[in-house]
Amino acid sequence: MKPRYAELAEQLIRAIGDAIFKVGSSLPSEIDLSAQYGVSRATVRSALERVQELGLISRRKRAGIRVETSKPRVAFEQSMSSIEDLIQFAVVTERHVQSVTEISASPTLAAQLGVATGSRWLRTEMLRVDPAKPHKPICWTDVYLEPAIGAGIKKKLRKSSGLICEMVKQRFGRVVREVRQEIRAMGIPARIAKPLGAQVDGHALEITRHYVDDVGIVFEATVSVYPADRFTYALPMRCN
């Protein structure tokens, strides 16, 4: 279950995008938002910080909370180290599905995904796009799902945004207990360079994520390629 502040941030982002809160107008105060949405002021404050990070609002003493734009600023020079960060990424970007096919995992792919060689997977190839910059995709992602799961959400994949693992949770009750990440530098493969609008073998960051359920089974895996000029991975390190 996502934190309440993340849910509230999504609600506010949608309200601004739908012009319920218009550009140039003021949002209700923290106290009023707290009463309106039935949450604490601390939750409101955390949600507003998320919305402000995207450039949608500004907050100043005595001036209140002002709506600056209806489209998020998607620079992604921010932390991507938690499920909440992935949710936020999915909320403010669009999923442009390129193809959906069932495949058999080759030895190389099986090793990368941490699954059995020859196992069957539904692969969805897609671009993640900033709506403000539709001709410069943020990344290319191959999503691998167990075939039965993939078949159950195949239509929804093409029509909705948000995290796919959230769709799996709603449809099948499979809950993500852990996301394992592997990151490496790579050259952009020829097969995805043109859709990305990038040069073949250009510098890129590849992030492989394994979505593990409560019994330790990987039911979803993603392999994303981010051109170097479009994404910065930030991982905070805190002292005890």
Lowest mean pLDDT among 53-57, 172-176, 228-232: 228-232
Q: Is the pLDDT of residue 29 over 80?
A: yes
Q: What angle do CA 171, 177, 178 make, to 5 degrees?
A: 120
pTM of the model as a whole: 0.65
Mean pLDDT (whole number) for 9-32:
91
Beta strands 232-234 and 77-79, pairing class: parallel
Residues of the chain above pLDDT 70, percent: 85
Q: Is the pLDDT of residue 10 over 90?
A: no
Q: Would you give the DSSP letter of residue 40?
A: -
Q: What is the pLDDT of residues 131-161, one digit of tens each?
A: 777 788 999 999 999 999 988 888 887 766 6
Torsion of CA 76, 78, 83, 88, to 10 degrees: -50
Mutual angle of helices 164-172 and 147-159, in 10-degree steps = 120
Q: What CA–CA distance (Å, rounded) separates 113 from 144? A: 9
> In the chain, which ranges are continuous DSSP H helix?
4-17, 30-37, 41-53, 83-92, 107-113, 147-159, 164-172, 190-196
Look up residue 156 and give its two tokens.
Answer: 């929804």
Look at residue 76 in the predicted model and tell me its pLDDT: 47
Q: What CA–CA distance (Å, rounded) separates 9 from 88? A: 9
Q: Which residue has the higher pLDDT, 194 or 159?
A: 194
Q: Is the pLDDT of residue 232 over 90?
A: no
Which domains occur in the chain, in start order? 4-67 (1.10.10.10), 77-234 (3.40.1410.10)
Look at residue 78 in the predicted model and tell me its pLDDT: 44
Look up residue 188 and give its two tokens.
Answer: 């952009």
Mean pLDDT (whole number) for 80-104:
76
CB 108 within 8 A of CB 83: no
